Amino acid sequence: MSSEESGPVPRPFVIKAENLTKTYGDVTAVDGISFSVPAGESFGLLGPNGAGKSTTMKMIGGVAQRTSGSLTIMGLDPEQHGPEVRAHLGVVPQQDNLDEELRVRDNLLVYGRYFGLPMSYLRPKADELLEFAQLTDKAKSKVDALSGGMKRRLTIARSLINEPRILLLDEPTTGLDPQARHILWDRLFRLKEQGVTLILTTHYMDEAEQLCDRLIVVDKGRIMAEGSPASLIRNYSTREVLELRFGSERNASIGGELEGIGERLETLPDRVLIYTHDGEAALEEVSARGLRPLTSLVRRSSLEDVFLRLTGRSLVD
């Protein structure tokens, strides 16, 4: 998968899901979703906790059986060909499950053995991946001596040991501080440049905007919208947003007085959002009506606004 495949020739789909459904008892975790991902794309599943993102990931990895619908990974059904499909997958689960009884480098070697890879291949590969994860000087450390960000990077390095064509990342930066997140994003960019297909779940809109070529917005197991981050924002939101805070007492009641400003008004418990093409102009209009918000902020629309528009709820609860 080198750069010549990213030319105008349509790339083959590495993942195809049709009407994918998963129920646990009475609960429908994934409710008939369909999507396909071409090789080399960075594809995101954006949604709040409980939207069915992780369940979808598990079905792709063949460690959860679908209730109905069809799913193929590189042309194979992961339920029938679990080990074979997973030989081409790298998996970064939501919670690190590094082997705490082994040291950092041994984690990579042993994980490679699970794929049946020979030590002659694994030794140089492990060193290369430690370098990639900026953990070379920690090679002999115990896993529990690593920081959260380092553990995450080790988990990603581990997921690359079998040179996967598809990398599944479930909430890759949840719980990391901003600096650790940026290091991680940088590493993921590099993988993308090398042609690895990234499948990523997140409830962080900035992460989705940074990393995803295309994404689906999921809520309650259903796809609410699909497209690139830019096109989703274009289609479901305005260019700018004016955020006003009047204090928790007044936010709810002020709506009537803001009527007619901008294209659309969204009232949240802690703030009021005015969707408009020109945020500054809207703010002037607010002042002209004699309203004095405690704080005001003009910003570009984000995927958060798209989600709010589609579901009436915010992403991070």
Partner 1 sequence: MTVLTQGHSVTEEARNRRFGPLYSRNAKAVIGRGLMATKSSNWLVMLSGFFEPVLFLLSMGIGMGAVVGTVQGPGGQEISYAAYIAPALLAVSAMNGAVYDSTWNVFFKMNFAKLYQGMLYTSLGPLDVAMGEIFLALLRGLLYATGFTAVMGLLGLITTPWALLMIPASVLIAFGFASFGMGITSFMKTFQQMDWINFIMLPMFLFSATFYPLSVYPEYIQWMIQAMPLWHGVELLRQISAGAFTPATAIHIGYYLVMIVLGLMLTTGRLRSLFLK
Binding-site ranges for partner 1 (CB under 8 A): 1, 58, 61-65, 79-84, 86-89, 91, 93, 95, 97-103, 106, 110-111, 113-118, 121, 128, 131-132, 160, 162-163, 165, 191, 194-196
Nearest distance, CB of residue 185 and partner 1, angstroms: 16
What is the smallest separation between the CB atom of 119 and partner 1, expressed in angstroms? 10
Q: Based on CB atoms, which residue is closest to partner 1, 196 or 217?
A: 196
Angle at 49 between CA 17 and CA 150, to 5 degrees: 95
Give buried/exposed letters for 169-194 (b at 16+ CB in 10 A, else e): bbbbbbebeeebbebbbebbeebbee
Q: Which is nearer to partner 1, 79 or 206 (CB)?
A: 79
* Nearer of residues 82 and 227 to partner 1, judged by Cβ: 82
In angstroms, give the least distance from the CB of 103 to partner 1. 8
Two tokens at 78? 């992961």
Q: With respect to partner 1, which residue has the nearer C-beta, 168 or 283?
A: 168
Closest CB to partner 1 among 118 and 256? Answer: 118
Q: Is 19 helix (H, G, I), strand (E, B) or coil?
A: strand
Taking the least distance from each CB to partner 1, the nearer of 110 and 310 is 110
Q: Show the 3-state SS of 70-97.
A: EEEECCECCCCCHHHHHCCEEEECCCCC
Least Å from the CB of residue 106 to partner 1? 6
What minimum distance in Å lies between the beta carbon of 182 and partner 1?
Answer: 20
With contact defined as beta carbons under 8 Å apart, do 123 and 101 qualify?
no
Contact status, residue 305 vs residue 263, Cβ threshold 8 Å: no
Helical H runs in the chain?
A: 53-60, 82-86, 104-114, 119-132, 148-159, 178-193, 205-211, 229-236, 279-288, 303-311
To partner 1, the closest distance from the beta carbon of 305 in angstroms equals 35
